Amino acid sequence: MTDQLLTLNAGSSSIKVALFDAGAADGALPVAHWSGQADGLGGGLDARLRVRDAEGRTLHDAKLDEGEARTHQGALAALLDWHARQRGGGRIAGVGHRIVHGGMDFVAPVRIDDAVLDGLAALEPLAPLHQPHNLAGVRAAMAAFQGVPQVACFDTAFHAVQPALNRRFALPRSLHDAGVRRYGFHGLSYESIVHQLAREAPELAEGRVIVAHLGNGASMCGMAQGRSIATTMSFSPLDGLTMGTRCGRLDAAVVFYLQRSLGMSLDQVEKLLFRESGLLGMSGVSSDMRALEASAEPAAAEAVAHFVEQVVQHMGLLAAALRGLDAIVFTGGIGENAAGLRARVLEACAWLGVEPDAAANAAGRPKISTAASRIGAWVLRTDEEAVIARHTARVLDAQLG
């Protein structure tokens, strides 16, 4: 019976799990046997567990009972119980985890022990929306699979190779050396796109590419030869583009004003910037791009226009960092599905030399630029789970070797 790997991505109210064969360390990115997602954890009214196969067909869809089942550990137990009832299941040889922040020290996937777990917990203030929930998923998996190796894979690691100048703030060197620097995020997604470009457009894989990971959390990355050169998020996942509930780029003096002149506490400011701003704060309607595009409220239209404009402006910044551009790739929940928004971005980026193919874009084809376009435009579906599985297999293979 084939050994298998689980990948686990735990968010604040959800947990994503996928199952792969263990022998996936080299070659093309592996394909999951199935992927499962539990939403509405922590008290959601419609907490559900859904499982789909590699073709997207639903294998399981059930409501999670109130109580323990709606915790990360309970949802993982329900998913594993479903898996145990299926035929042909192999031994779980390892579990790979998405960890948002690796800080200065974790720049490559690593097997998790108590010291690593403590080090990752110390980084929670840098990613308060993500890191605590990522680690809750680790603890749930450690309880479910006692003695099974757990591997941490970091969203920040992909950007650790950036030029030193692009990782600095203009702050005293002592602060940079203490860790106040640009880290960048969504690295597992960007790594997935690098692999896919090598297959779909090998002539571009070694070129200068801007990848726009657009979703509730949104960032962009300028890459050359498959390596990160510059990215829009920096010290935390708060910086850069307008996001679902996060403000994105902000003059730091606004924080001083909110506290000194408006009397807001530090906790209130943090809640405002992380949870009450972005598309939700601007529109007063929703943080969901689909709801905003369907809304007749002028504020909703303004929020969408602001999001588009920020993507366009950062496109120019990243093209400058790359000293030129060969291709643009859209990914993430919005990037992959919002054809109208993609069209608006590409129209505003015509000066870069991109000529969109309207029919291909509407159809959601991988290539959405014309044959005559000097800059290629693509839509690729990110697969962070496959990247996590690859890294987990390599860590386990290295230890066996």
Q: Do 371 and 379 touch, CB atoms closer than 8 A?
A: no
Is residue 390 helix, strand or coil? helix
Start-end of H helices in 131-230: 131-144, 173-177, 187-200, 202-205
| Catalytic residue annotation | 155
DSSP 8-state assignment for residue 29: P
| Residue 367 Cα distances to 154, 178, 197, 202, 227, angstroms | 29, 43, 11, 13, 22
CA-to-CA distance for 340 and 373, rounded, in angstroms? Answer: 19
Count CB neighbours of 279 within 10 A: 25
Instruction: For residues 163 and 173, give the distance between their C-alpha atoms in angstroms, rounded to a whole number.
Output: 16
Residue 389 and residue 20 in contact, taking contact as beta carbons nearer than 8 Å: yes
Rounded-to-integer distance, Cα 315 and Cα 313, Å? 5
List, in order, residues 6 or more apart from 107 with CB less than 8 Å away: 154, 156, 157, 160
> Under 8 Å CB-to-CB from 131, ≥6 apart: which residues?
99, 100, 101, 120, 121, 123, 124
> Left, alpha or beta for 169 (phi > 0: left; psi -120 to 50: alpha)?
beta
DSSP secondary-structure letter at 42? T
Instruction: Report the run of H or E that residue 82 belongs to, with start and end.
Output: helix 72-84
CA distance 88 to 21: 12
